[in-house]
Amino acid sequence: MRYDDYETLKITRNGKILTVAFNRPELRNATNAQMHVELLRVFPQINDDPETNVVILTGEGKAFSAGGDIGQMLYDLDHPERFISGMKEAKQILMGMANCDRPVIARINGAAVGLGSTLAVMCDITIATETAKIADPHVAVGLVAGDGGALLWPMMTGHARARLLLLTGEVLTGRQAADIGLISEAVPADQLDARVNAIAERIASLPPTAVRGTKKALIMSVRQALEAQIDAHLGFETQSYLAPEHRVAVQAFLDKSGSGGR
C-alpha cells in the first residue's frame, strides 16, 4: 500500500511497523486544515493495509504537535464555516483512530499541546521524553477543551486531576504526565527511540489476530464514550468560538508569542 501522496504527514515503513510523523517541523507540527484532511484518511487506510501490524505516531523535528496553527486560528475567526468543518473533522479523526485495529504507539519527542495532546492520549501506548511538554490549554485561547481532552483526560487521570489540569491549562512534563497515568511511560531523551522501537517490534512479532482483537477490546469503552459525548463536547467548543473573548485571547496569544497552537 502506498503512502506517497501525503504532504503534512511523513509516512515511512520498517517491515510491519509504519511510522506516521507530523511533518510541519518549522511550525512545531501545528495542525492546519490540510493536516486535518490527511489525518482523516490515514487511519482508515492503515486499517486496510495488510503489511502493517503496528503504527508509531510522532513528529518531525523537536515537537510532537503544538496543536492548532495560529494562522489557521486567525483565519477561522472570520470564517465560521471553516471552524465548524474543523470540529466535524476532529470527531472523524478521533473515531478513525478508535476504529483502527492496529495498535498505535505515540512517540512524544517534544511538545504535545491542545489537539496534539489529544492525539497522543488517543494512542494505545504513549512514550514521552521526561522533559516533553504536555498540555491542553484550550482555555488560554478562550475555547472549551472540546476536541477530546475533556473526554479522554478524566478517563486516564481521574476526574479530580483532569479538572485541575484542563480548567487551568497547566503544562506537564513527560515525567509528570506518566506519574499521573496520562501517558504510559517517560524516559530520558536518549532512550526514547530504543524504547519505542522495542515495543513496536515486540507487538509486530505477535500473532496479528490476537493483537488486533485485544486492541478492539481495549478501545471499546473509549469508542463508546466518543460516540455518546463528543458531539456535545464539540458543540461546547463551538459556542466558545463564537464568544467575543476567544478573539481577544487569540490576539493576546499572537502578540505574546507569534506562533504555536491551542
> Residue 69: is its pLDDT beyond 90?
no
- Residue 261 pLDDT: 45
Domain 9-257 is found in CATH 1.10.40.30: no
Q: Give the tens place of pLDDT for each residue, 25-38.
A: 999 999 999 999 99
Q: Give the tens place of pLDDT for each residue, 155-174.
A: 999 999 999 999 999 999 99
Query: What is the percent of the chain with per-residue pLDDT over 90, rounded to a whole number?
Result: 89
Strand order in the sheet with 17-22: 9-14, 17-22, 54-59, 104-108, 125-129, 185-187
Per-chain mean pLDDT for the chain: 95
Mean pLDDT across 181-207: 98
**What confidence tier does 254 reach under pLDDT thresholds 50, 70, 90?**
confident
Instruction: Give the integer Cα–Cα distance in Å for 76 and 83.
Output: 5
Q: Give the tens place of pLDDT for each residue, 131-140.
A: 999 999 999 9
**What confidence tier does 260 reach under pLDDT thresholds 50, 70, 90?**
very low
Mean pLDDT across 167-185: 98
- Residue 257 pLDDT: 67
- Residue 147 pLDDT: 96
Half-sphere exposure of 184 (CA within 13 A, CB side): 17
The domains of the chain are located at 9-257
How far CA 26 is from CA of 4, 120, 170, 195, in Å, comes to 21, 20, 24, 26
The answer to whether the Cα torsion of 222, 45, 58, 79 is positive or negative is: negative
